[in-house]
Amino acid sequence: MHPVSILLGISIATASAVTIIPAHAAGNATWPYQKYQTVNYTPPWLKFDGRAPAYGRHLFIAPDGATAFQAAPTILDLANGELIWNGPKGHAFAFGVQQYDGQDVLVYWNGTSFPEPVGRGNGAIHILNRHYEEIAVVTLAGNFVELTPGASYESNIDLHEIYITADDTLLVTANNVTRADLTSVGGSEDGWIVDCQIYEIDIATNEVLFSWSSLDHLHELPLTASLYHLGSEGYNGTTQSKAWGYFHINSVAPFQDGYIISSRYLCSAIAIGADGCVKWRIQGRDGADFTLGNGTNFCYQHDIRTLPVRPRGNESFVLHMHDNSNCPIDNGTVASSGLVLNVHPATRSVELSQRLRDPSKPIYAIAQGNFEPMLEGSFAGHGWIPVAEEFSSSGRRRSTIQYGAAVARPGVRQHTQEALRTVKAEKGSSVTAEVQAARDSKDWVAERDKDVQEALDVGKGFGDMIMDQIYEVVNWGKKRDDDDD
């Protein structure tokens, strides 16, 4: 590892100008990279467009993909684009800040990844403390099968999800290639398929506390519900290496007494109970168990989460995601967006709260991506396309951060740089210790959840809501002026 102190990183960088280094030769894309005398790492130069970010001074990113010059977990200073820290070289999917055992920690996935169109991996989750020391490595052993006959991996956690819960457990996804009856979708009785799984693992002991398999729930989530029809991109289920990825799980988070999961190819947010039974499914095109309001459509989405995290019973809640409908199996004409929905389980209806995208600068990401509410406004990482955007509370694009060459071409599977998640810090060193303490307190979390619920009950929009409260905490109770710009 190469811990670089903040001061050292900045002072050295000031002395040496940005150096242009051609990106991976095979990719033919060029992008400026930064070279340092003190560290053998060349992070991408950040191109800013628009206002400097209002909150969150650090960018957490793990540039990867065909044209990335080097891959590593990377923290960059958003004020000047300089390197603050980089971890070991290699894949570091889902790099970001979370909380474990009462402290801020860095988390990332490392392992064997299978690039698009497979788009999954087998690896382990690394957890580092504030001093960049590794304090835990969470693994998942077992008999897991992949597309390559005979291949096995030390640990089998998928690259898509790292979610540390309030109980210091870890939620992750996993995949297993196995046999299934594909006759309902025109395949053979003994076809090959990818089973999608979730695990809740105790971080301290590495013990599996809960597991769930999509193939155990075919009566609730049938193969016929997949929009990735058998044979898509050649995956026709006739051999192990052509196992059909009908479900493609890409996120799991706590929800009520159980979990909420994202299935890319069912185009669905799926709520499951503590017993693993499916409570309901919202499909982004036909609604499935819900009626979709105007403008709420989504598909092939990533990073599904709710606010509050555990609404009770039939209480309304906010559901947010990165909606990358621009999938290569589709016509690929829908620009990516951050999507915020108000969901009303009692009436089984979904309403649009906010759709975050700039129609004048559309971004067509085919895969990956993340979306997060920030102290003010929201932040979207566009995954496959090396661009992240910050939006104001009212939904206006406030700034764009680009870290690799990319062309906005709908439907094109470009070989470019990518980052599963591009996260802005609103925690840790980017806010004062006092604010951090306020935000950490369980009371504050409970208070926020209560306020979110009340705001939903009176029909207040998401943009006006959660951000108001976070602002109040940060500014010691002051009310926020109207929108910034």
Ligand X SMILES: *[C@@H]1O[C@H](CO)[C@@H](O)[C@H](O)[C@H]1NC(C)=O
Q: With CB under 6 A as the contact rule, which of the stretches 232-240, 248-256, 390-398, 443-451 interacts with ligand X?
A: 232-240
* Cis ω before 308 (30° cut-off from 0): yes
Per rule CB under 6 A, count of chain residues that contact ligand X:
30
- Asked whether the beta carbons of 190 and 239 are under 8 A apart, the reply is no
Q: How far apart are CA 463 and CA 303, in angstroms?
A: 19
Task: State which residue, 169 or 414, has the beta carbon closest to ligand X.
Answer: 414
Q: With CB under 6 A as the contact rule, which of the stretches 34-42, 233-241, 248-256, 450-458 interacts with ligand X?
A: 233-241
Q: What is the DSSP string of 367-430?
A: S--EEEE-SSSEEEE-TTSSEEEEE-TTS-EEEEEE-S-----TT-----EE-S--EE-SSGGG
Q: Does residue 142 interact with ligand X by CB under 6 A? A: yes
- Asked whether the beta carbons of 357 and 336 are under 8 A apart, the reply is yes
Task: State which residue, 102 or 359, has the beta carbon closest to ligand X.
Answer: 359
Output the residue with the shortest Cβ distance to ligand X.
90
Q: How far apart are CA 362 and CA 410, in angstroms?
A: 9
Task: State which residue, 236 or 430, has the beta carbon closest to ligand X.
Answer: 236
Site string for ligand X, 164-203 (x = CB under 6 A): ------------x-x-------------------------
Binder among 102, 150, 313, 459 for ligand X (CB under 6 A): 313
Q: Does residue 148 interact with ligand X by CB under 6 A? A: no
Task: Please state, as a whole number, how many other Cβ atoms lie within 10 Å of the Cβ of residue 124.
Answer: 19
Binder among 150, 234, 359, 459 for ligand X (CB under 6 A): 234
As measured in angstroms, the least distance from the Cβ of 441 to ligand X is: 30
Q: Which residues contact 478 (CB under 8 A, 6 or more apart)?
A: 471, 472
Token pair of 469, please? 């409260």
Task: State which residue, 51 or 409, has the beta carbon closest to ligand X.
Answer: 409
Q: Does residue 205 interact with ligand X by CB under 6 A? A: no
Task: State which residue, 257 or 447, has the beta carbon closest to ligand X.
Answer: 257
Q: Does residue 144 interact with ligand X by CB under 6 A? A: yes
Binder among 314, 432, 441, 475 for ligand X (CB under 6 A): 314
Q: What is the DSSP string of 96-119?
A: EEEEETTEEEEEEEEEEEETTTT-
Q: Does residue 73 interact with ligand X by CB under 6 A? A: yes
Binder among 15, 131, 150, 294 for ligand X (CB under 6 A): 294
- Asked whether the beta carbons of 462 and 411 are under 8 A apart, the reply is no
Strand arrangement, sheet containing 337-344: 291-292, 349-356, 337-344, 317-323, 302-307
Binder among 104, 181, 330, 468 for ligand X (CB under 6 A): 330
b/e burial code for range 160-173 (CB count within 10 A of at least 16 → b): bbbbbbeeebbbbb
Distance in Å from the first CA to the final CA of the chain:
41
Binder among 98, 165, 206, 238 for ligand X (CB under 6 A): 238
As measured in angstroms, the least distance from the Cβ of 145 to ligand X is: 4
- List the interface residues with ligand X, window 24-53 (CB under 6 A): 28
Task: State which residue, 335 or 431, has the beta carbon closest to ligand X.
Answer: 335
- Asked whether the beta carbons of 343 and 376 are under 8 A apart, the reply is no
- List the interface residues with ligand X, window 331-370 (CB under 6 A): 331, 333-334, 345-346, 348
Measure Cα distances from 246 to 182, 196, 461 in Å. 11, 9, 35
141 alpha carbon, distance to own chain's centre = 24
Binder among 236, 262, 301, 353 for ligand X (CB under 6 A): 236
Residues that bind ligand X (CB under 6 A): 28, 72-73, 87-90, 92, 110, 142-145, 176, 178, 231, 234, 236, 238, 242, 294, 313-314, 330-331, 333-334, 345-346, 348
